[in-house]
Structure 1
Amino acid sequence: MMGSGLSAQIDVSGIVTSDNGVPIPGANVKIKNTTNGTTTDFDGLYTISVPDENSILVFSYVGFTDQEIKVGSNKNINVTLTTSVESLEQIVVVGYGSRRKSDVTGSVSSVNSEELNAFPVLDAAQALQGRAAGVVVQSNNGGEPGAPINVRIRGNTSINASSAPLIVVDGFVGGVFPQANDIESIEILKDASATAIYGSRGSNGVVLVTTKKGRKGKLSVEVNTTYSIQNTANRLDLLNADQFAAYQQTINSGYVQGPVNTDWQDLLYRSGSTANHQFSFSGGSDKINFYASATYFKQEGVIINSEFERISFLSNIDAQVTDKLKLGANIFGSRGNKDGVPTQSTGSTVNGGGDDVVSLLFRFAPDLGVQDANGLNTINSVGDNVDNPFAIATESIDETKTDNYRANLYANYDIFENLTFKTTFGFSTINGTQGTFSPSTLITTAGAGTGGRATITNSKSTSVLSENYLTYKAEIGKGNLTLLAGYSYQKNATDRFSAGAEGFTSDSFSYHALQTGSNQLIPTSSFSEIEIQSQFGRLNFDYDDKYLLTATVRRDGSSNFAKNEKYAIFPSGAFGWKISNENFLKDNQTVSNLKLRASYGVTGNQAIVAYGSLASFASVFTPINGQTVINVTPNQVANPDLKWESSYQTNIGLDLGMFSNRISLSLDYYNINTKDLIIADSSQPEYLGFLTAASLRNVGEINNKGFEITLNTRNISNENFSWTTDFNWSTNKNEFVSLLNGEDIFQDASPGYFNIDQTHVLREGEAVGVFWGYEYRGVYQGGALPEGTAVFEGGEAGDQLFTDLADEDGNLDGVITTDDQQIIGDPNPDFTIGITNTFTYKDIDLSIFFQGAYGGDVMNLTNVQLFNGDSNTTTDVLNAWTPTNTNTDIPSAKLRGKQISSRFVEDGSYIRLKNIALGYNLPSQVTDKLRMDSIRVSISAQNLVTFTDYSGLDPEVNFLGGGGSGSQNTFNGFDFGNYPTVRSVNFSLGVKF
């Protein structure tokens, strides 16, 4: 009888996930009307024995709606718990674990797979734009194929170290974003309570990316494909050949008009396209789950001869080897090929950056064609003698090939019921080869008489990561305790080599035969290593589901710093109070959720150049008597006391849910003081003999503070129709609290051929990256100067009029000099905003996403170039000052040096219809006949309309304005020579089998 009873038992297993696809650890699985049950493990997996097929399993977890399922013949039951009406909950990934969102004490924003794939994106990071308060996302070079994406969380916190957040992909620290369709969820950790577990790399925020995993059940196959048509979102209204000739003849009466009328924008721009095809399959059994995908992506840019192609794959495997041991592997790889054209943001250096195609197609003379009467490429007839942009784009070569591979392995062992040990080992490598070639036909770009110029640069970056940690969970009366303790080691190495040659007998070999060049350029090579060792721990305690406590500490050691300051400790603490769970609010019909959060902590930033604290030597190449003499000279003095930049962060937040959480509101106030800024001290005497007359020191402080609002509403929700709204608003104000000796630091973001020394100033009490130049006061009408104004020496009627600043004694000198420069603009916006409305009617859905910023100036450096008198320009110059047209603010047509002034500083406020998407899910009657699980078709558009007063191509300019000196962190808001932003229409098809 006993044996018969045991044999009748049925083993049922599966996985329990939340409605955003994240596994739920600790979910209850019980047999209905009994006390028999179990809980899911760390990965949401469970196994339970039931008496017979009539047994009913009850799945439950706090904040989710209970679900009952009859076993029947199913031995594999996967369950998705939906958030309850009474208390909308979400499982979020935090560093080295996951928690209920209601138990999180820090500031964390989440983006799930549905939101990520609501609109097609070229890079998964783009899907974060406008989705999370306090997060700014921009392309590094407009719509350029393969251009990297910049992410900033709560402003810039450094001058010389990186302000980019730490990216963690499936636990691998320092990973790169996978394809959007491969991502299950993204968590953005913003305050010290959330990021301190990553210590010295958490000061700029942390982005946790979790990729999709297999689920126990039948094999699932998905095919997703998207095709896009792209065009430039905007163009400049430039002079035609007749207008240009008349303009130049006003400046130089001897100018002779060329024989043609060329619209260089029409010649260089084209309709671009993208194609993205992904195939994935997933499934699992009692012991093993798997997910694998392969993706092919190709983009043809809107500028001729620019394109990017990539193939990638992702594989996730999880195996339950024994009841206690689980093993898993995450493997990612990609191969990319990029064909580029020179732009200001790609670091073009020929002619001081003057050969970038984008600025050239604006300024090149329209009365010249592609070739002259002799069949040679035309050269600009005024200003800088540069090859025409069409010749540069079609004849020069700039190819980059990149291989990116990552493998992350883990083992999870349940030592006891409440104690788990996890060990991970990861390895990544990025190998890149860039080849450039300027043929002999490009006279000025390649260098007259050089016979062409070619270079090859090889780089290899590797990273090894090993992490080991213990997690202990226990119930103590009404409290729940979770302890985490671990050790981490990571080693990053970078190896670079570059070679080049000039004087080729033929252009046929491109950069593939450097040995055939008659003039071999001096090769360069470098190698660097960075090691980080860390110990970390975290305590989470919640009492009676009302009071929450989080304490975190991490000790980091980095080889980036000298022996006196290699190690630092980064602690944080946070408290949460679930006010809505108190008796006085528990049964409130209006307030369904109310939680107060407060945190304080310290995080660090060690992202400086390797060996920055050590004494170094540099190679110097000196031409003597026709030969190059190579010697080695001291480059930089050591600073054994150089230490981490440390951010002291305070965050106060409030989470509110009303009317059964139909309205959800989160408010956050933060204050970040980043101390010990690493700044180059150039005060050391030159006679010491160091090549770099500066050493790195900790001598500055930046403050960032702001307010964030996130509002989600379910406006209408019934059987056939729903309407939801997601809104976020954030503001960030930053300023320098202190700098080295209280002195200003001037920087230059302009191209070298501009011959401008200062475009930015770093000053105590001012925001990061403010513009430096002259205050424009209109056009000088001749005669007596208006009070407080002046012109440059020798100025005449029609010239630019500027503010004349008084000297220390209050005197005006009546002439404009560099002493009259001042702060003329601030690129930091007053606030940013994002709003998404999603409508669903039966099987049809419509999403509309607006994104924008208010305030924040843009320096239109393009106009600084175009209104200089030595290039083509916009039709605004037709209203230039003349003796008969004096009622204008545009100076007379005249050759004048390029000056940075408030004349070219414009309001960068904008609101943009960023995305709109219409989708249709075919009904089950159709998919069943086709033996498919689902079919979805959609059409969407990006960057359809932008409302702005900015006169340039796009007010949403990238972070890096040019190729001058200084730091990317401080070069915000400069618009010059960037690849244009694109407007696209996308067609998508998704099929699931």
Structure 2
Amino acid sequence: MKKLEGIKSWSLNIFTLKLKTKISAFFVLVIAFGVQAETYSTTENFKTNNTEKKLQQTEVTGVVLDQNNVPLPGANILEKGTTNGVQTDFDGNFTINLNNSNGILVVSYIGYKSQEISLNGKTQINITLEEDTAKLDEVVVVGYGTQTKKDLTGSVSAVKGEKLVKAPTANLASNLSGKMTGVFVNTATGQPGAEDINFAIRGTSTTGNNAPLVIVDGIVRPFARLDPNDIESVTVLKDAASTAVYGARAANGVLLVTTKRGNSNKPSFNFESSFGYQSQIRQIELMNAGEYARYINEAKNNYGLNPIFTDAEVAQYESGELPSYDWLGATLGNSAPLSKHSISASGGREGIRYFLSYGLLNQEGFYSTANYRQHNLRSNIDVELSNNLDLRLDISGRIEDRSDSSTNLNSIYQGALIGKPYLNPRLDEEVGPGAIATNGLGGSPIGHAERSGTNERLSNIIQSNISLNYKIPGVDGLVASALYSYDLTFNKNKIFKKPFIQYEYNGATDGYDQIIGGPSTISLAESRDLNDQQTLQLSLRYDRLFGKHKIGALALFEQIESSQNSLDAFRDNFISTAIPELFAGGTDLWSNDGVTIETARRGYIGRIEYDYDSRYLFQANMRIDQSFNFPNSGRTGVFPAFSLGWRLSEEAFMDNVDFMDNIKIRGSWGQVGNDRVPAYQFLSLFGFNGGYVADGAFQQGISSSGIANPNITWETATTLDLGLEFDMLDHRLGFEFDYFKKRTEDILRPNTDVVPGSFGASLPDVNYGIVDSWGGEALIRYKQRIGDFNFSVDANASWFKNKAIQLAEAEGVLPSIAQTGRELSLRTGYLSDGLFQTQDEIDNAAIQFSQSIHDGLAPGDIKYKDINGRDGDGNLTGQPDGVINADDRAIIGSSGAPNMLFGLNLFMEYKGFDLTANFQGATDFSRYVYSIPFERDGNSFREFVDSWRPGNEDAKYPRLSSGDASANNSQTSDFWVKEVTYCKLRNLEFGYNFNHISSVLEQLGIENLRVYGSATNILTLSNLGWRDPEGPSGLRPFYPQTKTLTFGVNVGF
């Protein structure tokens, strides 16, 4: 049934003109006004200069550079003891008129040590600033702007882009693991091109969408597929004071990504190339043929069934006289290549700067049809149109080319896992070259992986920003800005399915019969998606220093609209695989479909900042949002936030505490929203569903698919955050701590009321849920340079808890499994009490599930706890009743994200050699590890060797069964739930920089040359054995995570 989702009977009343039309007119007016205003400004400056000359002031000119002679635009030049000051231009130049020719200039720039320059009558000076290793003046990207680290009053974590390229993985998101407090990144699969990455900031705080908002260069965009070499920094905003400016979608935190820009220096080029191999992060241990033969016979015997193998055959397989085969290795292979290449150019001249880059990623899969290729192209250009008007033009493109088998990956993997190990998966000798066998259960996982057709997905993405920044003459520090962004994504998907030839062993003839595998017919499904997003931002920004008083303000308007258009078609019964195009398919079974969805959001943002002498800090933010997801009555949300900071280290009473460089206490309170809920729930939706016959002909029918909820509104999160930061020992040792408490209200939850099926529609979701969450974060870092040896280490830990205060639950829910008052994402099931050891124990135990199941119990089966019963009136008693049934269910674990995270990052450097290590781990979470031994009489995990049998009564697992014959042991229970703790060595990189032979490199025109070797995910310490602790729970097979070994070179010239 298709919903009529393109309904336009409602409106935000914000699109009186199309965005493109408004933007074009706006930018023409701004540029024209900027040129005109610059002319006016020049004239006024000329008049002012004449007046100043009459007053006999002294004009001083100069340039401000860094230690590499790179100009520093925007550096502050202040005449000491006055409010007379200017900033350097695009190329680091400045001109200032002084009242005293022997005065003192105070020169400062964020991230560099300030200098005081005594003029002594000089009128032209060159100033070189040194980088400030204290990092207190380090610029940190925040919502719609930047701040220095020392002035931050919110909870923010940041990592430089240079640290992300230390791990050449295929998915950039995984590189964040362990590098920042409060950030959990779960990579559930290593499949080429997969987007199966789960982000969580500060744990789980809602039953709805828990993903953070991702902003790239000021625009909502995906993150995982960016080229790491293009990234300048990644910042995570965690508390409401930091995220409130993003209002509508910031309840789960915000991830800010900033890409690199050019500088006003000579052109520089950087080339990096790496090659490596991937293998499975954990090798799954399956039974070999000897183990399989022995233990499947045991499983059959446990249930009175005939054995599959004779004792002689078991002995032959165990001795190796008869061969054993590895179906998993034959299907997936042992390794796959991975390569990455990138080249970039940056530089500029007077009035223009640029950063250009191209990147190529090629990732092969573990079977021949699985591969992924990605091209990244970026151009970031800054142009100084006049002294007061700057323009930025950013254009980036990406091509994502995925190829895979037409068969579902899980089916391929499952078929390989249960392949009977006494059968040969490849029959080159038995049948002929290229022949493949079934796994003994009717299908060949090799055939499904390599010969059942292809699933080809191509994505073309173009992203663009254009922005203008205008310094308004006559009002120092006032800047008007405008930004327009247009992103376009085109997706093409083509799934061509076809049968293949396979061979099945015939025991009667001791030969192989040819059969058809895969789909029974040849079919083709194609789809096209065209998605665009437009963003408009208009802002006024004011920043000014009055002596010791620093004032900042922001007023910003933002409007976002997007559209999604899709079309798909299907045909079956192709007569040949030669032409995989729709026109060649049959006409007796076909379909086509299409849908258009439009969305819109609007926001008004305000911010006020004040600090006194960089000692007392204050910030207030507010965002008013409107979202298409809600009706007029609930469309507008207001999200305020306030934060305070006190730098005790700037107080007079700290002057004599020499070892303490910085102490800051900060606190914040605020509210943010979440509108990421299913759209149009405030409307009565209809869909095409079946039809009826009238006048002898079938007529298309339309019916209601859901009842409207006209009161649906925002999910709102209110957060309190307290933080402490200090630096000591000349900034070598630093510490940060945060404690937060958060309440999320009006969570959208399914309506638990029940209506009869004859009602014809489902009830709408309602804003009912309330969840509390709280936790803490700690970071400690130390760095030291001893001669040629330089090292740094930082360790971080985060812990989270949550509690459902109010949730809509079904009437009559068991108190033992009710969610209200407990942690979110809990798993329910039965409580186990070990394994039965004797028949007498079974005879005296509660009836488990049913009399027939109980009668089939034997020593070695799981024993369950009888914790509840009912009286004669059907009321729960909380006492055993001699029967194990649904009333005995309880909480048996959590299926959510870990409640505790930790990370450790090491860096060492000595005479050109460098070593980087990144560890990440988690604890306080659980995984459900049940799997079926000998499913459909197929192979099983080797761990089931340790199953109960006479002589092995202390076994890890219950007695063996075949094909899930045990309805008792397969019940969901805490027997199969494992509390998990793990630590992974995410990345280890060793490199050598040849810069110490710079004279040789200079002759070759090379400024920098580094070679390195890198390994990712090479070590996992876990209590789950061979299982990946980040993999999915339960029975679902999955493409394994990968570990990689890579060698690369980086050249700068």
Map 1:735-754 onto structure 2 (within 5 A). 735-741=803-809
**Secondary structure of the residue that 1:980 maps to in structure 2?**
coil
Report the equivalent of 2:926: 857
Equivalent in 210, 220, 237 of residue 163 of structure 1: 210
Report the equivalent of 1:731: 799
Paired AA for residue 1040 in structure 2 = P
Paired AA for residue 822 in structure 2 = E
Equivalent-residue separation in structure 2 for 1:78 and 1:213 (angstroms): 23
1:579 has 2:640 as partner? no
Report the equivalent of 2:507: none
Report the equivalent of 2:1014: 940
Map 1:572-651 onto structure 2 (within 5 A). 572-621=641-690, 631-651=701-721
Report the equivalent of 1:535: 604
1:795 has 2:863 as partner? no
1:428 has 2:487 as partner? yes
Q: 1:609 to 1:454 in 2, by over 3 A?
A: same
Report the equivalent of 1:970: none
Report the equivalent of 2:471: 414
Say whether the 8 Å CA contact 1:436–1:456 is kept in structure 2. Answer: yes
Map 1:687-706 onto structure 2 (within 5 A). 687=757, 689-691=759-761, 693-706=762-775
Say whether the 8 Å CA contact 1:193–1:599 is kept in structure 2. Answer: yes
Say whether the 8 Å CA contact 1:142–1:978 is kept in structure 2. Answer: no
1:497 has 2:567 as partner? yes
Q: CA deviation at 1:448?
A: 7.9
Q: 1:708 to 1:46 in 2, by over 3 A?
A: farther
Say whether the 8 Å CA contact 1:562–1:639 is kept in structure 2. Answer: no
Equivalent-residue separation in structure 2 for 1:744 and 1:79 (angstroms): 75
1:402 has 2:472 as partner? no
1:325 has 2:380 as partner? no
**Secondary structure of the residue that 2:266 maps to in structure 1?**
strand
Q: CA deviation at 1:700?
A: 0.3
> Please, what TM-score do these two structures have when normalized by structure 1?
0.87
Report the equivalent of 2:542: 472
**Secondary structure of the residue that 1:357 maps to in structure 2?**
helix
Equivalent-residue separation in structure 2 for 1:449 and 1:600 (angstroms): 58
Say whether the 8 Å CA contact 2:355–2:380 is kept in structure 1. Answer: yes
Q: 1:59 to 1:475 in 2, by over 3 A?
A: closer
**Secondary structure of the residue that 1:699 maps to in structure 2?**
strand
Q: CA deviation at 1:657?
A: 0.9
Q: 1:16 to 1:882 in 2, by over 3 A?
A: same
**Superposed CA offset, 1:662-690 (max 9, x none):** 11111000111111111121425235644
Equivalent in 423, 441, 465 of residue 368 of structure 1: 423
1:253 has 2:253 as partner? no
Say whether the 8 Å CA contact 2:752–2:809 is kept in structure 1. Answer: no
Report the equivalent of 2:38: none
Q: CA deviation at 1:440?
A: 2.1
Equivalent-residue separation in structure 2 for 1:137 and 1:744 (angstroms): 37
Equivalent in 350, 357, 379 of residue 412 of structure 2: 357
Equivalent-residue separation in structure 1 for 2:567 and 2:813 (angstroms): 33
Equivalent in 80, 93, 112 of residue 141 of structure 2: 93
Map 1:866-945 onto structure 2 (within 5 A). 866=933, 870-883=937-950, 885-894=952-961, 895-897=965-967, 898-922=970-994, 923=996, 924-945=998-1019
Report the equivalent of 1:768: 824
Q: 1:452 to 1:128 in 2, by over 3 A?
A: same
Equivalent-residue separation in structure 1 for 2:633 and 2:1041 (angstroms): 47
Q: 1:80 to 1:621 in 2, by over 3 A?
A: farther
Equivalent-residue separation in structure 2 for 1:18 and 1:909 (angstroms): 47
Report the equivalent of 2:877: 809
Paired AA for residue 336 in structure 1 = E
Report the equivalent of 1:123: 171
Paired AA for residue 569 in structure 1 = V
Equivalent-residue separation in structure 2 for 1:322 and 1:902 (angstroms): 70
**Superposed CA offset, 1:122-181 (max 9, x none):** 233222111100001122423544434322111223323x22111111111234352111
Q: CA deviation at 1:393?
A: 4.3
Equivalent in 210, 213, 221 of residue 261 of structure 2: 213
Equivalent-residue separation in structure 1 for 2:501 and 2:723 (angstroms): 59
Say whether the 8 Å CA contact 2:191–2:1039 is kept in structure 1. Answer: yes
* Structure 1 unmatched runs, 5+: 747-759, 962-972
Say whether the 8 Å CA contact 1:761–1:769 is kept in structure 2. Answer: no
Equivalent-residue separation in structure 2 for 1:661 and 1:137 (angstroms): 30
**Superposed CA offset, 1:383-419 (max 9, x none):** xx55535534443312111111100100111113221
Equivalent in 353, 365, 375 of residue 289 of structure 1: 353
Q: CA deviation at 1:36?
A: 8.8
1:980 has 2:1040 as partner? yes
Equivalent-residue separation in structure 1 for 2:827 and 2:583 (angstroms): 43
Say whether the 8 Å CA contact 1:18–1:24 is kept in structure 2. Answer: no
Q: CA deviation at 1:374?
A: 8.4
Equivalent-residue separation in structure 2 for 1:640 and 1:16 (angstroms): 60
* Structure 2 unmatched runs, 5+: 1-48, 314-321, 505-514, 870-875
Q: CA deviation at 1:515?
A: 4.5
Equivalent in 311, 335, 357 of residue 399 of structure 2: 335
Report sequence identity in percent. 27
Q: CA deviation at 1:342?
A: 7.2
Say whether the 8 Å CA contact 1:438–1:446 is kept in structure 2. Answer: no
1:269 has 2:332 as partner? yes
Paired AA for residue 795 in structure 2 = F
Report the equivalent of 2:319: none
Report the equivalent of 2:726: 656
Equivalent-residue separation in structure 2 for 1:103 and 1:35 (angstroms): 21
Equivalent-residue separation in structure 2 for 1:529 and 1:374 (angstroms): 57
1:777 has 2:800 as partner? no
Map 1:825-844 onto structure 2 (within 5 A). 825-827=893-895, 828-844=897-913
Say whether the 8 Å CA contact 2:570–2:591 is kept in structure 1. Answer: yes
Say whether the 8 Å CA contact 2:136–2:149 is kept in structure 1. Answer: no
Equivalent-residue separation in structure 2 for 1:56 and 1:342 (angstroms): 73
Paired AA for residue 339 in structure 1 = S
Equivalent-residue separation in structure 2 for 1:77 and 1:410 (angstroms): 32
Equivalent in 529, 534, 556 of residue 486 of structure 1: 556
Equivalent-residue separation in structure 1 for 2:651 and 2:501 (angstroms): 76
Give the count of matched residue pairs.
936
Equivalent-residue separation in structure 1 for 2:920 and 2:543 (angstroms): 42
Report the equivalent of 1:82: 131
1:821 has 2:881 as partner? no
Report the equivalent of 2:366: 302
Task: Give the stretch that moved more between structures: 243-252 or 327-336.
Answer: 243-252
Paired AA for residue 949 in structure 1 = N
Q: 1:312 to 1:14 in 2, by over 3 A?
A: farther
Say whether the 8 Å CA contact 1:613–1:696 is kept in structure 2. Answer: no
1:507 has 2:577 as partner? yes
**Secondary structure of the residue that 1:195 maps to in structure 2?**
helix
Q: CA deviation at 1:379?
A: 4.8
**Secondary structure of the residue that 2:928 maps to in structure 1?**
strand
Say whether the 8 Å CA contact 1:230–1:273 is kept in structure 2. Answer: yes
Q: 1:686 to 1:709 in 2, by over 3 A?
A: same
Q: 1:453 to 1:810 in 2, by over 3 A?
A: same
Paired AA for residue 824 in structure 1 = I
Q: 1:387 to 1:332 in 2, by over 3 A?
A: same
**Superposed CA offset, 1:463-482 (max 9, x none):** 10000000112345532110
Equivalent-residue separation in structure 2 for 1:222 and 1:76 (angstroms): 33
Task: Give the stretch that moved more between structures: 880-889 or 774-783.
Answer: 880-889
Structure with max Cα Rg: 2
Q: CA deviation at 1:212?
A: 0.8
Report the equivalent of 1:708: 777
Q: 1:617 to 1:268 in 2, by over 3 A?
A: same
Say whether the 8 Å CA contact 2:77–2:88 is kept in structure 1. Answer: yes
**Secondary structure of the residue that 1:700 maps to in structure 2?**
strand
Equivalent-residue separation in structure 1 for 2:674 and 2:83 (angstroms): 52
Report the equivalent of 1:749: none
Say whether the 8 Å CA contact 1:744–1:762 is kept in structure 2. Answer: no
